[in-house]
Structure 1
C-alpha cells in the first residue's frame, strides 16, 4: 500500500512544497512509498482538454484515477482542501491558463455549437464540489483529536462577547422553498428513471434522460419558487433597513453549484432592484450576470458607453444609500456580501459571525449586528438556534465546552451535494416529473413556474447502513450520546428514518444513548451539553456534516483546520482529509505581499499520522506504526511549545512550523524504544536539526518581509514555488542528505 498525497490549491498547495520533502524522507526509512496526485482546479481543467494541448502540456486525469482507487482496499489517500470553484473562480483559472499558453476554450455562457456544448459540459464537470463526491466512497468520521482539544482548553482562542440586546438574527423562508416542497420515495427495485418537464401547452422536454437507481435507493424532488424567493428577499431587505442591521446572505454557492448561484443572483437583483428594473437590458447586453455577483456586473459595465456606464454606477450608489447597510467581506476594498458568490460560504461565514459576538463588518470597518438571510429553511434552524442560544447564554468558553464529533452520511454522492446534475432552472410554467422509464409511471411531481429552481437527489441504501454502523461504533467507543439529526416531517428524512430504525435494530445498542431529533431540537440539545462541558456525537446528512464540522470546531478550537477527518471507505481503503481551506486565499495574498505563509498544516500532520497507522495495519509494517505514533507525539510537542504559524510577518510561519515538526518527529523517533533500528537511523538527523536550529530559523525568517512571485495563482510555477517554500539551505541539505 502507498500513501497518496494530493496536491491541491492555494495555501495548502504552497505548504505541500515545504512539507512533502520531509514526509518522503521520513516515510522512506520505513519502506513506505509516498506519491502525489495533482487534483488542483487547474489540473482538473487541463485534464478535460488533452486534444487541445501539446504533449508536454497534457496532464493525467488524477481525480478520475483516485476515484477508482477509492473503490479498492488499497486506497490510502490524504486529501488536502481544494478549490470548489464558483463560476468567477473557474473563469479566472481559465484566463490564467490561456495566458500561460494553454489553448483551452473560453467558458461558454450560452453554448450554441457542439464544440461549445462540449466545452461547457467539460467545465461544468470540474466546477463546484467536483472532487469530494468522487473520492468520498465512505462516510465521514470527523472529530477533534484529544491532544488538540487539550491544547485548546489550555490555550483558549478569543471569543467575542455576546450582548442580550443583540439584534442579530437568522431569517429563512417559511413556504415556497426546497424544505417545504420536498417529496421522497424509496425504490423497491433497481430502475432507470428520467426527469421531464411538461409545459402548459403539452410540450414535453426531457431534462435528464437517464437516472439509474439501485434497489432500496431514496430519490427526492423539491422546488424553490422564484416568486416566493423574490418576495422573501424584498421583505428581508426592507426589514434590515427598518431594524438598522446589516443585510447579509449566506449560501453554499461552491458546493451547491447550480442552485445557490441562482439564489445569490436573486439576492443581488433584489438589493439593486431599481438598477435592474431600469437597466436590465443594458446589463444583459454586455453579459452582466447577477448570479456571478456584483463584482461581475461592475466589470461588465466597462463594455458600455461612458454615459450609460455612469448612469448605472450612479443608480448602484443610490441603491446603497436607500437600502440597508451591507455586510462586508473586505471593508477596506469595498467588497460587500453581494460581490462574489464564493466569498460568503455559509459554513465558514456563519461560525465566524457567531464567534465574533454575532456581528459582521460594515463599510466603516466596524462590527455591527446583522440579519443572516438563509433562504432555504432545510438547515437554517442550526444557525438560528445557535444565535438565539448565544444571545441568551453568552459566548461559549473554549476552556470548558464539550466537543461535538460528527458522523456524516456522504458516501456515493449522498443527499443534496449529489444533486448538481439533477438541478434545473425552469424555463416555462408547467410540471416537472420523475418518471419510471420502464412503465411510464410518475414517482414524483411538482407544478412549476418560469424561473423556479427544481432539484432531485439520491441516497443509496448501502451508505445509510454503513452510516448507522459507524455511528453506533463511535458511540460505543466514546460513551457519548449519538444524535441522528433527522426530521420526521421532512420528506427525505422520513424515508431515511425508516432505514435508520431498521438498521439500528440490527446493532447492539445496549447501554448506549441514541437520539433522533429534528434540526432545531438537535441543535438545542447539543449546545446545552457543550455549554455544560459534555460531549455529543452528531450523526447527520451530507450538508449538516459540512455545517457542523465548521461551526463546533471554530467555537471549540478556533478553526476547523485542526479537526481529524477520517473516511473509512466502504470497500476497505482509507481517505484522510486535512481540514477546511476557506481562509486559504487570504493566506496566499499575504505570502505574495510579505513572503509569510500563515497556513497551519496541523490538519496535514493529523491526517498523515492516521494514514501511516492505517498502512501499518494493512501491510503489517511495524516501522510505519512507530512513524505514525512519533508524528502524533511531535505534533503534541509543537502545540505545547506554541510553534504553530503566526499571523505576523517576521515571526514563525508555515515553513518554520514544518521545521519544528521535523525536529520533534526525528527526536521522537530517536527516543522511542519499540524499534531500536529505527531509533539509530533517526538519531543523527535529530542531532543535526537540533544543532542547526538557530541557523535554520534565521534562514526561514530572514526571507520574510518582501514580495514574491509564484508565477501564477491557480497554476503556480512549481520550481519558483519550491524556492520560495524551501528557503533554508541548511534544512534542505539535512533533509536531502538524510
Structure 2
C-alpha cells in the first residue's frame, strides 16, 4: 500500500489534524493509500532527546531524523504542517508543561557550568528555532496561490486599510556595520573541511566550530554585526520615534534565526530601557534574567528579587520616558518587546502594510509606526512597498496580480543554515574561517559582544533552483526575477552561478532577469498594480518573507498558498501554509471551544500529495482523489465554508465537514472509476441528508471552555473528543471502513 506521511505538529494545525485526519484516512484508504503520522511537534522533539529518562509509554522516537532520511529517497511523500520554531521562552514553557505531565525532563540550563549541563543544553538546542525545516527541505520551494484561491480573492476582496500621502510610517535599518555590509563570501574549489576560530588580541586561538564539511562549488559566507554600532543605531531610532510621535516597533525573526536574533532582540530591550539596565542589570543577570527573553519574562521573574518593586518602577518609567511602543495586545499590556517570538518580521510587516501602515498603540488605537529592522539585507523590500503605498494608495485585491515564489532552501541553504555557525564574540580579536590546509578564507576584526555568523549554500541546490525558476517561467509565461544584489558578497557569487547555469535550459521567449531586492520589489509592484504576475526567485530568507508579504496583500493570508517542494531525489514535500496566528487560535479554543484555524492549505497540499503519489506509485485512484479534491475545494470556496470569525458560525470542524461533503459528492459523480463512485454514493447521500444535524452537533459545543489537556502536548483522547464532537459525522465516516 502506498504511503503518505502527515506530520503531527503544534498548536492550531495540530488541533485541526484531530478533526481532518480521520476524513483523510477514510477517503485515502478507498484508493489503497495509507496515511501515517510522524510527531515533529516541539514537545515530541524534546521528548525524543531524552529517552533514557522516560518510561516506555512516554518515549517518542526521533521522527524528525526519520523523515529527514526519508526526504532523500524517491518514495518520500510528506505533508508538512506548520510547527513551532521555538524561541527560548517557548522551549522553557514546553519543558515546564511536560514536567507537569510527568515527564522526567531536566531544566533548560541557561548558563551551563558542568559537562552534564552542557550536554543537556546541546540536546535542547537541537529542538530550538528552525529545527525542522532544514532537515526536511531536501529540495527547493515552489510556492504560489492556486487559481481557485486567487479567483476567490478577486471575487470576494478582503479589507485593506487606506493609505495617506502623509503617512509617517517608515523602516529604519543600519545600512553599515551590519550583516549585509560586513559580509565576505568564497566559492570552495574542492571538497574540504573548514574550521571556524577566534583569535584573541594576545594570540590565543579558540576553536568555535571544529568541523564544517564543504563540497566543491559550495558558497561559504562569513559576516558579523557590530554590536556597538547596533546600540547606537537603536538609541537613535528610539529618539527618532519619540520625536516623530510614531510607534516604535522592532521586527526580527527570533524563531528561525535562533542564535542571532534573540541577541539582537535583547539589545533592543536594553536600548529601550537604558536606566533600568544601568541600575539593575547586574542584579538581573545574577538572577538569570536575560533581556533576550523579553520584557514579559523579566516582569514575571522580578517578583522574586529583593528590589522587585524598584525594577518594576524602572520599567514603568522607561515606558513613560520613551516613545509609544507598538503593542501585541494593548488590552493586556503586551508590548512589541514582551516576547521575542511574538513579533515575527515576515508576518508582522505585511500585516502592518495591509493595515494602512499602522500597528496598535498602548491606547488601543492604530498609529503610524517606525519599523526597526536592524540588518539592511532585506529591509529595503519593506520600505519600497511602504513608499509605493504612500504614493499610490492601498493595493486592490480584486484586480492585483500575483507574486509566486521559487525559493532556494535545499540542504539548509543560506542564512537559515547558520545557527550552528553563529557566535556571540567573547573578546576582541578576529574570527576567521580556515580550510584544511590552514589557509584563511574569511577573516573579520571583531569586538566583544559582536554577532558573527557563517552560512553555506551548496552548488547542487543552486543548480536545481535555477532549473525550477526556468520551469515555472515556462509553465506560466510570467517573468522570473532573481532577487540578487551584486553589492552583497554572497549574492555576487550566486549571480555568477545563475549566469553559468541558465544556458543549460531553454529560455527562448522567457523574461528572466537579475535585480537587487528593492529594485525587484518596485518592478513587481508596478506589475501587480496592472494585474500582472511576476515570479520572485529568491534565497531562503527572502523566500520566507515574500511568501508572507505578497499573499497577505493579495489573499489576506499566507495560509491559502500551495507550497510544493520537489525533493532533489524525486520525492515530494507538501507544506501547508503559515502558522503565525496559531497561538491565538488555541487560546480561543480553550476559552470558548471555537477553532478559527483555516485548513485550506492542508486541502491544497493533500491534493498535490495525491497527484504526486499517483505518478510515482502508478495509482490511478490516487489521481481521482486529487482531481475530485481540487473540485471540492473550489466548491468549498464558492460556498464560503471557511471558518467564520466568531462563535456561532462554523469553525475549523465545520469547514472539514463541508469539505468531506463536497469531496464525497465529487467522488460519487466522477466517471473515471465506477467502483470508487459507488463506494462514495451512499456517504455523499448520508452527509447531505444529515447536514443540519451534523452542523448542529459541531456548533452546539461552542461557547464554553474546552479541555485539551495541554498546550504543547495535548492529551490525545481529550483533543480527539473536542475536535470530533459530531457522532453523526463520525458514524458516517466509519461506514467507509
Same fold (TM over 0.5): yes
Q: Which residue of 2 aligns with 1:392?
A: 391
Q: Given the alignment, which residue of 467, 478, 482 partners 1:484?
A: 482
Q: Distance between the aligned counterparts of 2:525 and 2:507, measured in 1?
A: 24
Kindly report structure 1 stretches of 4+ aligned residues shifted beyond 6 Å: none
Alpha-carbon distance in structure 1 between the residues aligned to 2:159 and 2:205 = 57
Structure 1 position 61, deviation (Å) = 0.6
Structure 1 counterpart of 2:697, from 678, 696, 699: 699
Shift, 1:284, TM fit: 1.2
How far did 1:154 drift? 0.3
- Where 1:158 maps in the other structure, the secondary structure is coil
Separation (CA, whole Å) in 2 of partners of 1:409 and 1:505:
19
Deviation digits for residues 385-425 of structure 1 (CA, Å, limit 9, x no counterpart): 01111111100000000011000000000000000000000
Secondary structure of the equivalent of 1:220? strand
Q: CA-to-partner distance for each residue in 1:112-156, whole Å, 9 max, x for gaps?
A: 112111110011001100000000000000000000000000001
Aligned match of 1:724? 722
The reply on whether 1:529 has 2:527 as its aligned counterpart is yes
Partner of 2:639: 641
Summarize the alignment of residues 359-378 of structure 1 with structure 2, pairs less than 5 Å apart: 359-378=358-377
SS in structure 2 opposite 1:207?
A: strand
Corresponding residue of 1:119: 120
1:134-149 paired onto structure 2 within 5 Å: 134-149=135-150
**How many angstroms apart in 1 are the aligned matches of 2:410 and 2:396?**
34
User: What residue in structure 2 maps to residue 75 of structure 1?
Assistant: 76
- Asked if the contact 2:185–2:493 (Cα under 8 Å) also holds between the matched residues in 1, the reply is yes
After TM superposition, list the pairs within 5 Å mapping 1:81-92 onto structure 2. 81-92=82-93
- 2: CA distance between counterparts of 1:97 and 1:417? 28
> Residue 298 of structure 1 corresponds to which residue in structure 2?
299
Cα offset for 1:309? 1.3
Moved more, 8-17 or 113-122: 113-122
Q: Is residue 303–residue 309 contact of structure 2 (8 Å, CA) maintained in 1?
A: no
Secondary structure at the residue paired with 2:206?
strand
Contact kept, 8 Å, 2:187 with 2:218, in 1: the verdict is yes
Shift, 1:94, TM fit: 0.2
Distance apart, 1:251 and its partner CA: 0.2
- TM-fit CA distance, 1:299: 1.6
Mapped partners of 2:224, 2:701: distance in 1:
55
Give, in angstroms, the shift of residue 713 of structure 1.
Answer: 0.3
Give the equivalent residue in structure 2 for 1:46.
47
**Residue 406 of structure 2: aligned partner:** 407
Q: Report the counterpart of residue 434 of structure 1 in structure 2.
A: 433
2:621: which partner in 1?
623
Partner of 1:402: helix, strand, or coil? coil
Q: How far apart are the structure 2 equivalents of 1:721 and 1:265?
A: 36
- Counterpart CA distance in 1 for 2:377 and 2:275 is 30
Residue 651 (structure 1) aligns with: 649
Secondary structure class of the residue paired with 1:560: coil
Partner Cα separation in structure 1 for residue 329 and residue 606 of structure 2: 35
Find the partner of 1:607 among 605, 608, 632. Answer: 605
| Partner residue, 2:67 | 66
Query: What does residue 540 of structure 2 align with?
Result: 542
In structure 2, the partner of 1:321 is 320
Question: Secondary structure in 1 aligned to 2:332?
Answer: coil
1:205 matched residue in structure 2? 206
Q: Tell me, in whole angstroms, the C-alpha distance in 1 between the residues paired with 2:518 and 2:120.
A: 43
- For 2:82 and 2:642, how far apart are their aligned partners in 1? 19
Matches of 2:447 and 2:115 in 1, distance apart? Answer: 29
Asked whether the 8 Å contact 2:197–2:432 carries over to 1, the reply is yes
Tell me the distance in 2 between the aligned counterparts of 1:312 and 1:716: 36
Match of 2:186 in 1: 185
2:99 alignment counterpart: 98
Alignment of 1:417-496 (within 5 A): 417-437=416-436, 439-496=437-494
**Counterpart check, 1:503 vs 2:529:** no
1:334 alignment counterpart: 333
Q: What secondary structure, in the 3-state scheme, does the structure 2 residue paired with 1:651 have?
A: coil
Q: In 2, distance between residues paired with 1:320 and 1:118? A: 39
1:480 deviation in Å?
0.2
Find the counterpart in structure 2 of residue 563 from structure 1: 561
Shift of 1:674: 1.3
Residue 689 of structure 2 corresponds to residue 688 of structure 1? no
The superposition leaves residues 681-709 of structure 1 with CA deviations (integer Å, 9 ceiling, x where unpaired) of: 11000000001001000000111000011
Deviations 1:486-523 (CA, angstroms, capped at 9, x unpaired): 01110000111111100002111000000100011001
Q: What secondary structure is seen at the aligned counterpart in 1 of 2:33?
A: coil
Indicate the residue corresponding to 1:285 in structure 2. 286
> Which residue of structure 2 lines up, in the alignment, with residue 353 of structure 1?
352
Partner of 1:27: 28
Task: State the distance in 2 between where 1:728 and 1:95 align.
Answer: 33
Q: Once the two structures are superposed, what CA deviation does each residue of 1:325-354 show, in whole Å capped at 9, x if it has no partner?
A: 000000000000000000000000000000
* Distance across 2 between alignment mates of 1:140 and 1:174: 29
| The one of 660, 663, 666 aligned to 2:661 | 663
Paired position in structure 1 for 2:227:
226
Quote the Cα distance in structure 1 between the aligned partners of 2:257 and 2:104.
29
Q: Is the 8 A contact 2:180 2:376 kept in 1?
A: yes
> Where does residue 151 of structure 1 map in the other structure?
152
Q: How far 1:737 moved relative to its partner?
A: 2.1
In 1: Cα distance, 2:722 partner to 2:175 partner? 52
Residues 13-57 of structure 1, C-alpha deviations (whole Å, 9 max, x = no match)? 000000000000000001011101111000000000000111111
Q: Name the CA distance, whole Å, in 2 between partners of 1:106 and 1:309.
A: 24
The residue that corresponds to 2:56 in the other structure is: 55
- SS class of match (1:723): helix
Is this contact kept in 1: 2:423–2:451, CA < 8 A? Answer: yes
Name the SS of the counterpart of 1:443 in structure 2. Answer: strand
How far 1:531 sits from its partner (Å)? Answer: 1.0
Deviation at 1:286, TM superposition (A): 1.2
Contact 1:286 1:303 in 2 (8 A): no
Name the CA distance, whole Å, in 2 between partners of 1:174 and 1:9.
Answer: 37
Moved more, 296-305 or 444-453: 296-305
C-alpha distance in 2 between matches for 1:500 and 1:356: 37
Which string of whole-angstrom CA distances, capped at 9 and with x for unpartnered residues, describes residues 200-248 of structure 1? 0111100001111001000000010010000000000000000000000
Give distance in 2, aligned partners of 1:309 and 1:26. Answer: 58
- Secondary structure of the 1:278 match is helix
Q: Distance in 1 between matches of 2:17 and 2:311?
A: 45
Match of 1:18 in 2: 19
Judge conservation of contact 1:283–1:300 (CA < 8 Å) in 2. no
List gaps (5 residues or longer) in structure 2.
Answer: none
Matched, 1:736 2:734: yes
| Deviates most, 656-665 or 278-287 | 278-287
RMSD across aligned C-alpha pairs, in angstroms? Answer: 0.6
1:598 aligns with 2:596: yes
* Structure-1 separation of matches of 2:688 and 2:267: 58
1:274 equivalent to 2:275? Answer yes
Q: Which moved more, 1:540-549 or 1:643-652?
A: 643-652
Q: Distance in 2 between matches of 1:115 and 1:543?
A: 35
CA–CA distance in structure 1, aligned partners of residues 438 and 78 of structure 2: 43
Cα distance in 2 for partners of 1:428, 1:286 equals 24
